[in-house]
Amino acid sequence: MPSALRWAIRWASYLALAILVGILGVCAWVAPTIATNPRVHSALKGSLIAIGALGALQLLMLAGDIGGVSPLTAWSSLGTALGTTAGAAFGVRVLAALALGWLVRTRPRPDLARSPVTAAVTLALLASWAFAGHAASMRWSLIGVPLDIAHTAAAAVWVGGLIVVARIVFDERDVPTLAATMVRFSRVAPIAVGVLVGTGVVQSLRLSGIPDLSLGSTHTRLLLVKIVLVAVMLKVADVLSLIHI
């Protein structure tokens, strides 16, 4: 399978995760009542379908790599793939998506996002990303996995939460609700960005050590892009904290 397609599948799964965790984060800490919004319910189910389907596809891709065949004909290598750390993580991802799908099969309750069961399954889902990547395979995995979970969760709460607030809550056209929502989100957003930055710095040191900061290195160019993105996120968070409706 072409490398570009693999990256597209990977980033599509990250986007689906961001939408899912963003919705759950908004429902838990910002605006619990929007859990009953039909569009929120549809977005929640859509993100779970995408996560489950893409996770299954990534598992088949891994099985295909192991068997040296196309993912579509890699069924005989599934057992071997599931015996690897990454394969087991993809399997857990699919099962967690199915479990959350069962929990939201009907119109979700306002307290769904605060349910311990929902929290546990979402944690398993986030952990599947950590165990499928460098967090578990590189040095200091004992701290790498929890750091990766926190990093991914913070990014999802920020990005997904912002999408939910902007796209759904704003559409309510209810000024008092909007004002209260913005106040609560402006408290959550800086915390999410802070966790994102802190865990990102530690993970970078864990994976690469002291980086080569010469402008000609790929690492430095990527680091500069990340710094710009984080600066934009911090500015948006700052603007949100100053909004008074």
The DSSP annotation for 138-180 comes to SS-HHHHHHHHHHHHHHHHHHHHHHHHIIIIIGGG--HHHHHH
Give percent above pLDDT 70 in the chain: 72
What are 173-180's contacts with CB under 8 Å, separation 24+?
Answer: 175/245, 177/31, 178/245, 179/244, 179/245, 180/31
Quote helix, strand, coil % in the chain, to nearest 5: 85, 0, 15
Place of tokens 């990256």: 7
Could you tell me the sign of the dihedral formed by the alpha carbons of 136, 139, 140, 144, in that order?
negative
Identify the band that residue 54 occupies on the pLDDT scale cut at 50, 70 and 90.
very high
Q: Cα(43)–Cα(73) distance, rounded to whole angstroms?
A: 32
| pLDDT value, residue 90 | 95
Residues 138, 206 contacting (CB under 8 angstroms): yes
* pLDDT tens readout for residues 92-127: 999 999 999 988 876 566 677 788 888 899 999 999
| Residue 104 DSSP one-character state | T
pLDDT digits (tens, 9 = 90+) for 148-187: 889 888 888 887 777 777 766 566 556 666 667 777 877 8
Contact 61, 69 (CB under 8 A): no
Model pLDDT for residues 19-52, shown as the tens digit of each residue: 899 888 888 888 777 777 777 888 888 999 999 9
**Chain mean pLDDT for the chain:** 79
The model's pTM: 0.79
To the nearest 10 degrees (0 to 180), the angle between helices 3-25 and 141-164 is 70
Average pLDDT (208-235) is 59
Coil, strand or helix: which one is 214?
coil
* Sign, Cα dihedral of 26, 31, 34, 36: positive
pLDDT at 209: 60
Q: What is the mean pLDDT of residues 128-144?
A: 72
Q: How confident is the model at residue 207 (pLDDT cuts 50, 70, 90)?
A: low
Q: Rounded to whole angstroms, how far apart are CA atoms 126 and 120?
A: 10
